[in-house]
Chain A
Amino acid sequence: ETGVTQTPRHLVMGMTNKKSLKCEQHLGHNAMYWYKQSAKKPLELMFVYSLEERVENNSVPSRFSPECPNSSHLFLHLHTLQPEDSALYLCASSQQGARTDTQYFGPGTRLTVL
């Protein structure tokens, strides 16, 4: 049983659609992360939240908008995406958000942008 869940597991959307990815962690952690995994590229950190406040934003395009309403839930709102945004989006959580914490990952959402 995983401590981090993500929905939906698969999503197909057009470039004009608006959709949201959801992540929930059941580990009692205080930090949550969004990563993007594209084919043949290393995982890229997109956003970090610690105690519901955004700590880092690694120059992600504004068509990706994160939301963290509480320490257990994290959303990624998507709008006017491009085909190159097709990827596996992984959510993770860690105890305190310290750089040395172990991060625990969810199963990911496979996104296809047509």
Chain B
Amino acid sequence: TAGITQAPTSQILAAGRSMTLRCTQDMRHNAMYWYRQDLGLGLRLIHYSNTAGTTGKGEVPDGYSVSRANTDDFPLTLASAVPSQTSVYFCASSDSTRDTQYFGPGTRLTVL
């Protein structure tokens, strides 16, 4: 079982460009999450989805959008990247919002 996969592994992006980070899980988990991790800070929730077809805003949603067309996929889009979006992005999933979250390997994004 692959669990959660993320793509790309890393990316360098010019400011102003758009990009979609991909996340796919094969555990049939209902809930999925996007976090960013920055040095010296805890993981911060960007957006979440409690179940397919629904999404919600987390702590730091500005500049990001998500969609949840099906159970397995939860892409994160940066419409117009800015240098402050340089970070490591982790996708996670859980059976329900009350359950343990399991993480993908992450995407390291650098915006120049």
Q: Do A and B bind each other?
A: no
Binding site for A on B (CB under 8 A): none
Binding site for B on A (CB under 8 A): none
